[in-house]
Amino acid sequence: MASLDVLPETNEDYGTMTYWNERYRKETDETAFDWFKTYKDIEHIVKQVIPDKSSRILMLGCGNSKLSEEMYDDGYHNIVNVDYSSVVIEQMKERHQESRPSMKWHEMDVRQLSFEDSTFDVTIDKGTMDAMMTSKGDVWDPPEHVIDACTKEVNEVIRVLKKGSSVFLYITFGQPHFRKRFLTRQDTRLEVHELGEMFHYYVYIMKT
Contact partners, residue 147, CB within 8 Å, separation at least 6: none
Could you give the angle at which helices 17-26 and 86-96 cross, rounded to 10 degrees? 40
Range 89-109 average pLDDT: 96
Say if CB 61 and CB 128 are below 8 A apart.
yes
pLDDT tier at 1, thresholds 50, 70, 90: very low
Range 195-207 average pLDDT: 86
Supply the mean pLDDT for the chain.
Answer: 89
pLDDT tier at 14, thresholds 50, 70, 90: confident
Range 56-60 average pLDDT: 98
SS3 192: strand
How high is the pLDDT of residue 196?
76
pLDDT tens for 105-149 read 999 999 999 999 999 999 999 989 998 887 666 666 788 989 999
For 91-126, b where at least 16 C-beta lie within 10 A, e where not — what string? bbeebbeeeeeebebeebbbbebeeeeeebbbbbbb
pLDDT tens for 66-89 read 999 999 999 999 999 999 999 999
29/52 Cα distance (integer angstroms): 32
Q: Look up the pTM and report it.
A: 0.87
Is residue 50 predicted with pLDDT exceeding 50?
A: yes
How high is the pLDDT of residue 7?
67
166/158 Cα distance (integer angstroms): 9
How distant is the alpha carbon of residue 21 from its chain centre?
17
Greater pLDDT, 167 or 34: 167
pLDDT tier at 3, thresholds 50, 70, 90: very low
Q: What angle do CA 98, 94, 170 make, to 5 degrees?
A: 95
How high is the pLDDT of residue 82?
98
Contact partners, residue 172, CB within 8 Å, separation at least 6: 36, 125, 126, 127, 129, 130, 179, 201, 202, 204
